[in-house]
């Protein structure tokens, strides 16, 4: 029974990784701490009264196999996921265990679907990329908003962040993505991803209370452009970012998140407004909460819990909305975010 509750966390000492470890412990799981830096792993383990430490590197498959030995699942929290995703998924497939990550990198998530869909399905293993604030939450909200619609014309995901003080991992992932795109923009239109060089417009988005209308950058593309159309028949998926948050992210001296409570959360708040259009009809789902990095932990851990207890809708590589009952999943996170659905 202990092995069923054992979950390996790769990149456990990173900012989001530490939240995931704490959430696993809160939920009664036994985290196995893994990553490249043995000293940081030991320090983290000691802060929790002693946990199993298994250093590993993505360029050493044997070390990854040792890290995952006896685990029931693995959560990859180590970016850039363009570097770590494939090696950790390969190790999970060798171990025959499910894989969940918190990747916000569009290209890395697209790679996971393209490279591992057939193998993961053949193995009967769940591989869930982007099971985090970006990619996962938007997909769950879009799926919930769709309700009984089987198709829609457009999905719009608007991110209202009070601020965005990025982690080192966020900055590194963004650098990798920009390099892979050659500095170009990316969008999902006409049913496919495409690069473009058009300037991104500043629009006003009608966020509901308590945020209210505010300027956003249109075409500020996030991982939802991979997760949403991976299973929903929607040719246009557009994402938007609050101008103030985008400015924070791009500042040359952008500060890291600062903990302001006993859980390590920052003061940042968020409102994610998802609008689905079909013909002349509109449906909406809105989530509000605090700290985009902290809320990624209950998203990822709830996914692990549901996979290990058989509450999934498919196997292979699948986004949150395809793998799980989206409205039920979101309701299970009521301690971490508020949900409003308007049909």
Check which CATH number belongs to the domain holding 108 and give it: 3.40.50.720
Indicate if 70 and 114 belong to the same structural domain.
yes
CATH number at residue 232: 3.30.360
For residue 20, give the 3-state DSSP assignment.
helix
**Which pairing describes strands 202-205 and 126-128: parallel, antiparallel, or unpaired?**
unpaired
Q: The domain containing residue 196 runs over which residues?
A: 133-292+335-342
Query: How sure is the predictor about 20, in pLDDT bands with cuts at 50, 70 and 90?
Result: very high
Number of domains in the chain: 2
Query: What average pLDDT score do residues 70-76 get?
Result: 98
pLDDT at 37 exceeding the cut of 80:
yes
Query: What average pLDDT score do residues 162-189 get?
Result: 94
Indicate if 54 and 201 belong to the same structural domain.
no
**Alpha-carbon gap, residue 25 to 72, rounded angstroms:** 15
pLDDT at 2 exceeding the cut of 80:
no
Indicate if 120 and 256 belong to the same structural domain.
no
Indicate if 142 and 287 belong to the same structural domain.
yes
Q: Do residues 159 and 130 touch, judged by C-beta distance below 8 A? A: no
Residue from 4, 335, 16 nearest 168 by CA: 16
Indicate if 286 and 304 belong to the same structural domain.
no
Average pLDDT in the chain: 96
Q: Do residues 64 and 56 touch, judged by C-beta distance below 8 A? A: yes
Indicate if 114 and 256 belong to the same structural domain.
no
Q: Do residues 271 and 286 touch, judged by C-beta distance below 8 A? A: yes
Query: What average pLDDT score do residues 147-167 get?
Result: 97
Indicate if 278 and 137 belong to the same structural domain.
yes
**Cα dist from 285 to 50, 56, 140, whole Å:** 41, 40, 9
96-100, 250-254, 274-278, 287-291: the lowest-pLDDT one: 250-254
Reported for 48-53, long-range contacts at CB under 8 A and 24+ positions apart, including other chains, are 48/21, 51/21
Query: What average pLDDT score do residues 155-174 get?
Result: 96
pLDDT at residue 197 in the model: 96
Count of other CB atoms within 10 angstroms of residue 57: 16
**Alpha-carbon gap, residue 241 to 218, rounded angstroms:** 7
Count of other CB atoms within 10 angstroms of residue 288: 19
Q: Do residues 104 and 131 touch, judged by C-beta distance below 8 A? A: no
Indicate if 217 and 301 belong to the same structural domain.
no
Residue with tokens 């799981």: 29
pLDDT at residue 134 in the model: 98
User: Within its chain, how far is the Cα of 288 from the centroid?
Assistant: 16
Query: How sure is the predictor about 330, in pLDDT bands with cuts at 50, 70 and 90?
Result: very high
pLDDT at residue 3 in the model: 60
315's CB contacts (< 8 A; 6+ apart) are: 120, 121, 124, 125, 126
pLDDT at residue 1 in the model: 41
**Alpha-carbon gap, residue 25 to 253, rounded angstroms:** 34
Indicate if 58 and 155 belong to the same structural domain.
no
| Cis preceding-peptide flag for 184 (omega within 30 of 0) | no
pLDDT at 236 exceeding the cut of 90:
yes
Indicate if 104 and 203 belong to the same structural domain.
no
Indicate if 303 and 278 belong to the same structural domain.
no
Indicate if 151 and 229 belong to the same structural domain.
yes
pTM for this model (two decimals): 0.97
pLDDT at 283 exceeding the cut of 90:
yes
């Amino acid at each position: 029974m202990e092995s069923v509750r054992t979950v390996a966390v790769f990149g456990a000492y990173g900012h989001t990784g530490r939240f995931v470890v704490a959430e696993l412990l809160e939920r009664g799981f036994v985290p196995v701490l893994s990553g490249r830096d043995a000293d940081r792993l030991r320090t983290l383990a000691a802060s929790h009264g002693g946990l199993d430490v298994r250093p590993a590197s993505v360029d050493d498959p044997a070390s990854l196999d040792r890290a995952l030995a006896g685990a029931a699942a693995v959560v990859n929290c180590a970016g850039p996921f363009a570097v770590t995703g494939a090696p950790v998924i390969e190790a999970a497939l060798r171990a025959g265990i499910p894989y969940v990550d918190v990747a916000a990198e569009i290209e890395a998530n697209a790679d996971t679907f393209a490279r591992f869909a057939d193998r993961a399905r053949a193995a009967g293993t769940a591989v869930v990329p982007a099971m985090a604030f970006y990619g996962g939450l938007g997909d769950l909200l879009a799926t919930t908003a769709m309700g009984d619609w089987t198709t829609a014309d457009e999905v719009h995901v608007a991110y209202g962040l009070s601020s965005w003080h990025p982690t080192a991992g966020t900055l590194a992932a963004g650098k990798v993505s920009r390099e892979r795109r050659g500095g170009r923009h990316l969008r999902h239109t006409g049913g496919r991803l495409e690069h473009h060089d058009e300037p991104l417009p500043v629009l006003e988005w009608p966020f509901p209370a308590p945020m209210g209308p505010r300027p956003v950058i249109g075409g500020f593309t996030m991982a939802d452009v991979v997760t949403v159309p991976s299973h929903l028949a929607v040719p246009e998926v557009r994402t938007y970012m609050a101008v103030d948050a985008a400015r924070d992210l791009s500042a040359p001296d952008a500060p890291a998140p600062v903990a302001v409570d006993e859980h390590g959360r920052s003061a940042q708040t968020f409102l994610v407004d998802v609008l689905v259009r079909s013909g002349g009809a509109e449906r909406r789902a809105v989530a509000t909460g605090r700290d985009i990095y902290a809320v990624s932990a209950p998203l990822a851990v709830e996914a692990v819990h549901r996979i290990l207890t058989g509450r999934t809708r498919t196997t292979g590589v699948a986004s949150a909305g395809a793998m799980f009952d989206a409205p039920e999943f979101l309701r299970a996170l009521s301690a971490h975010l508020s949900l409003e659905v308007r049909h």
